[in-house]
């Protein structure tokens, strides 16, 4: 599905936006600080790396929690 094995937070946000999910880097940063953000697959220096499919799963879950009728 995706060419990259890992994405950064910014690349993950761009990926979600391309799927029509209005996610912002600020939301991901806040959710990550609160422990409810996407789980990193690893780090390269100070940069967290994410599996693209897992990042999209987080983004889709975020939308479903925002719209209760979709969560059912």
Over the stretch 33-68, which tens digit does the pLDDT of each residue have?
A: 999 999 999 999 999 999 999 999 999 998 877 666
Q: Can you tell me the distance from the alpha carbon of 70 to that of 46, in angstroms, rounded to the nearest whole number? A: 36
Q: Where are the domains of the chain?
A: 9-67
For position 70, what pLDDT does the model report?
56
pLDDT above 60 (res 2): no
Per the model's pLDDT, the better-predicted residue between 72 and 16 turns out to be 16
- Band of pLDDT at residue 14, cut at 50, 70 and 90: very high
DSSP H/E element including 40: none
Number of helical (H) and strand (E) elements in the chain, helices listed first? 4, 2
For position 30, what pLDDT does the model report?
96
């Amino acid at each position: 599905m995706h060419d990259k094995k890992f994405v950064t937070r910014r690349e993950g946000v761009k990926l979600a936006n391309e799927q029509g999910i209005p996610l912002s880097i600020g939301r991901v940063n806040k959710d990550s600080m609160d422990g409810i953000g996407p789980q990193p697959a690893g780090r390269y220096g100070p940069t967290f790396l994410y599996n693209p499919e897992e990042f999209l799963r987080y983004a889709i879950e975020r939308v479903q929690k925002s719209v209760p009728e979709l969560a059912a």
